[in-house]
Amino acid sequence: MLRRSLENRDAQTRQLQNAVTNVEKHFGELCQIFAAYVRKTARLRDKADLLVNEINVYASTETPNLKQGLKNFADEFAKLQDYRQAQVERLEAKVVEPLKAYGTIVKMKRDDLKATLTARNREAKQLTQLEKTRQRNPSDRHVISQAETELQRATMDATRTTRHLEETIDNFEKQKIKDIKTIFSEFITIEMLFHGKALEVYTAAYQNIQKIDEEEDLEVFRNSLYPPDYSSRLDIVRANSKSPLQRSLSAKCVSGTGQVSTCRLRKDQQTEDDDEEDEDLDVTEEEN
């Protein structure tokens, strides 16, 4: 009867031990993965900060509307990284740390299991010793009574530690379920809060990009290519770029104008000479 009771309690202890081992294994894995998730998020924040800096540097080299649009976008994106930093800190405090704390909790439960197993082993040893004493000295009541007393003490100690372990593991299971609900609820809340803010920020960033006036910036760019005196300089370039035929025709026109003037001059001189001859003829006639 006592032997069967020991076997039942051993089976119960193994089940409790498996429960603690299961939590130790999976909570450890969850803790490592959540910690890696937080580190990845922090690295994403750092890369985003670099992106913000580069956008600002590039914006300073661009046309006014594009410059302003990019800077507004960078400001919104930088604001998002502030929310991401808060996300990292909250995940660390509300998710990773509680999971990490289970390392200490599991260690304490293992100490309780160890104490229970020690008491069980002592009880089993005393039972075996009593059985051997009864077999070797069935008529020695003093030795048998002493062995029975030691077994009774061991049984009481094992019973007490087993009851304590049962209560401890029961509380452990209750707290584990509560903590799991809390940890995952916090994780979901933190993520929803961040992504809600991210949606607001990305909406504002999108609107800032869409407000960039392409035509106005294109006009600014074109004006930067052509200086204010470009029109007068263009006329000079056009004048110098006439074809040889056009230049030859212009020269002939000038030459023809000069010939007409010369002919007219010669004709005028001839008319004057004729007048002088007529005057000489009149004078000669009067003398005769």
What does the pLDDT read at residue 250?
52
Tokens of 199: 């949606």
Domain boundaries, given as residue ranges, for the chain: 24-213
pLDDT at 223: 87
pLDDT at 30: 96
In 10 A of CB 142, how many CB atoms?
8
Q: Is 0.75 topped by the overall pTM?
A: no
Identify the pLDDT of residue 264. Answer: 47
CATH code for the structural domain at 24-213: 1.20.1270.60
> In 10 A of CB 66, how many CB atoms?
20
Task: Please report, in tens digits, the pLDDT of each residue of the chain (288 residues total).
Answer: 555 666 666 677 788 888 889 999 999 999 999 999 999 999 999 999 999 999 999 999 999 999 999 999 999 999 999 999 999 999 999 999 999 999 999 988 888 777 777 777 777 777 776 677 777 777 767 777 777 777 777 777 777 777 777 788 888 889 999 999 999 999 999 999 999 999 999 999 999 999 999 999 898 888 888 766 655 555 665 666 655 555 555 545 444 444 444 444 455 555 555 555 455 544 444 444
Query: What's residue 284's pLDDT?
Result: 46
* Residue 66 · residue 210 · CB < 8 Å: no
pLDDT score at 67: 95
Structure confidence at residue 169 (pLDDT): 83
Task: Locate the DSSP E strands across the chain.
Answer: none
Look at residue 283 in the predicted model and tell me its pLDDT.
Answer: 42
Specify whether the CB–CB gap between 164 and 126 falls below 8 A. no
